[in-house]
Structure 1
């Protein structure tokens, strides 16, 4: 099975376009470190070796046995010493019936494939966790820039207010109100910076290290186009989650076939040479042994394996349906988030910027009060923060979608986008 690297395309593109520096971390670098040092992935090489050893063990056939027997020895009278001894030397071999060896090898191969499926799921989970932590850190960095811009605007308002205060056109209470707002913004910035520091450690924990970077690179503003839902549904059918159910069914089928094979008794053949000292004669001896299976020794195991197959079939169908519905919900959520981001950027944010600009001009000319200007500033700040939050939710939801399919959503995809995704653009 081909293992794909799950990367949000916009972040990967940004990571490759920027030069890696000692204090800046790109998403490909973070994912590479995760693949090399994540605890969940460290056990796989050993598990793979164990699976290979199990396949080797399954190929081993029973070894022949040598049997030596001495009869009528060390007796009395005519049987004194070895005078009447009978020495038999024979070679026996167990013959496995029912294709037992082939069934053992088949089961070991399916169990090895199951280990690979488990590793692929663990790998996707590790990469997804790292990417999610990366996006959260990128969001916090964007909020840090947003907070700096907000404080810069408030400093500009404070400078204007101080000029009006010096001219005697502004009460001291308004200056205090602006300073109070500025203090709150600075506290908010400090909280964001503290969150960034904590998030750096959370991200670095994915590769069991302390952070050796100051910032991460990437761009939340560009939202990748989505392929049609039918294409994603097709990718889902090939995903590791569903492929693992297929492998589990094959393991159960192999176990059932091995159980059927083990229920057939093996045959033991032997041949040898017998020496009779009393008559000074030699003779060949042959034997065949086979247990009598008056009852099926594997009846319970057979029924258990059949029930397991039925359970896996039901679980696979239920999982397929649940994942399909989840994918559709996430696909619709991404379309909604794209529309929301577009509406905020094209309608809400320009209006908020215009309101703040006009309010600032009116305040400078003494045509409006301070509360109106501060309210306009809050409207602008909230609109900018809404854009950042919506963009981040888009990338997190996109990551969940990629996690289901195990395939990245390409930023440069030529696939047409459905009407729902751009109907409001």
Structure 2
């Protein structure tokens, strides 16, 4: 999966940063989402176990196809007795070959069950793969959010430092109280503490991201930006994708397994026949005769009534769970879709209404302060409004992508529709 990001120039101007440093994708040591996902697929501990489990499932299919082996029986009678049976004089030697014949399609039912269990392993692998990729993407997005918060915090410090310099010039001229200088310094210290906390959180998140491929982080940052919001498919399309998702398909597999177990139990309830053929040698009469045999157990009652009833109940349980899960996931998908549409509106309102107003308020307040028309508290309030608007934008964009990730988790499909806005392009590598 690959994400390509573009950062709006307006936001760069609002926080006081030039546009050039944000050509992130070409920077060395900047990890891309594609690289992170590839490393996860190659080195995730859970995924590494599945090839062995698939081999075990294939071996079970091979074992299920084995037919009963023929049996060779040798019997020696009337030996080491007395009279005419002294020594081997009256010995009777029987040599026979027997074969069990399975009735009720037992072999076919065993194969059917083994194939269903193999398919369940593949479904489990696909779910584990999607979960591992989703976890990596979530850590990636959280790290991206922290990086943008670091830029936001640095911009706040830059503005507050500039305000402190202006205030100190006024203080030197005797037009500002020392308490006002202390107030600005206090805000600056708090901003620096916030930046230090964000830097610490970035380091922690880097290690959590790299833990997905069981390695220490060898990257300084991740590339991208959160401002690109893809358009969502219609809800009807997402509902259709949900019906074909691996989560619901796994319930179908479980139903088939339960049905196969029931069929195998019914087949095992039918008795098998055994035939035999052989020779018999009588030393006393020097005669040789042919032996023919046939046996069939008499099952006067059902040998597996409880097992049959339990497996039938399990099959019905799987069907009920599939229906309940489909309804629950459908409602959850609709909730996520509505939340994403609301978040898109929130991001647009902050970007086009709140942030420009906060930026204008700051500029007017700073200009009035420099002319002595506005007090420091009004300027600090305007600075707080701008800082809060910037953070609200980052948090809303981050929440959009995290909710989008939950939507992709439900459907198992990336959101790749084109948009007039900068979009996230997602490429999923089939492995």
Question: What is the TM-score normalised by the length of structure 1?
Answer: 0.92
Q: Give the distance between the partners of 1:391 and 1:18, measured in 2 at CA.
A: 19
1:283 is matched with which residue: 279, 289, 307? 289
Task: Report the CA distance between 1:167 and its aligned residue.
Answer: 2.1
Aligned counterparts, 1:235-274, within 5 A: 235-274=241-280
Q: Residue 293 of structure 1 aligns to a residue in which SS?
A: coil
Kept in 2, the 8 Å contact 1:8–1:399? The answer is no
Q: Give the distance between the partners of 2:185 and 2:215, measured in 1 at CA.
A: 41
- Residue 25 of structure 1 is matched in structure 2 by 31
Task: Report the CA distance between 1:168 and its aligned residue.
Answer: 2.0
Kept in 2, the 8 Å contact 1:359–1:376? The answer is yes
Task: Report the CA distance between 1:17 and its aligned residue.
Answer: 8.8
Task: Report the CA distance between 1:413 and its aligned residue.
Answer: 6.5
Deviating above 2 A after TM superposition, structure 1's stretches of 4 or more consecutive aligned residues are 7-12, 16-21, 411-414
Q: Residue 26 of structure 2 aligns to a residue in which SS?
A: coil
Q: How many residues align?
A: 404
Q: Unaligned 5+ residue runs, structure 2?
A: 7-22, 421-431
Kept in 2, the 8 Å contact 1:8–1:398? The answer is no
Kept in 1, the 8 Å contact 2:24–2:223? The answer is no
Q: Any idea what the Cα deviations from partners look like across 1:152-200, whole Å, max 9, x if unmatched? A: 1111111211222222222222111111111111111111111111111
Tell me how large the CA RMSD over aligned residues is: 1.6
- Once the two structures are overlaid, the 10-residue window that deviates more, 357-366 or 34-43, is 34-43
- Residue 136 of structure 2 is matched in structure 1 by 130
Q: Give the distance between the partners of 2:297 and 2:137, measured in 1 at CA.
A: 60
Question: What is the TM-score normalised by the length of structure 2?
Answer: 0.91
Change in 2 beyond 3 A, CA 1:20/1:183: closer
Q: Unaligned 5+ residue runs, structure 1?
A: 1-6, 415-425
Kept in 1, the 8 Å contact 2:78–2:92? The answer is yes
Alignment pair present for 1:160 and 2:180: no
Aligned counterparts, 1:49-64, within 5 A: 49-64=55-70
- Residue 106 of structure 2 is matched in structure 1 by 100
Task: Report the CA distance between 1:208 and its aligned residue.
Answer: 1.5
Q: Any idea what the Cα deviations from partners look like across 1:338-368, whole Å, max 9, x if unmatched? A: 0000000010000000000011111111110
Q: Residue 213 of structure 1 aligns to a residue in which SS?
A: coil
Q: Give the distance between the partners of 1:219 and 1:363, measured in 2 at CA.
A: 34
Kept in 1, the 8 Å contact 2:24–2:30? The answer is no
Q: Give the distance between the partners of 1:171 and 1:17, measured in 2 at CA.
A: 44
Aligned counterparts, 1:68-107, within 5 A: 68-107=74-113
Kept in 2, the 8 Å contact 1:65–1:92? The answer is yes
Q: Residue 226 of structure 1 aligns to a residue in which SS?
A: coil
Q: Give the distance between the partners of 1:159 and 1:52, measured in 2 at CA.
A: 73
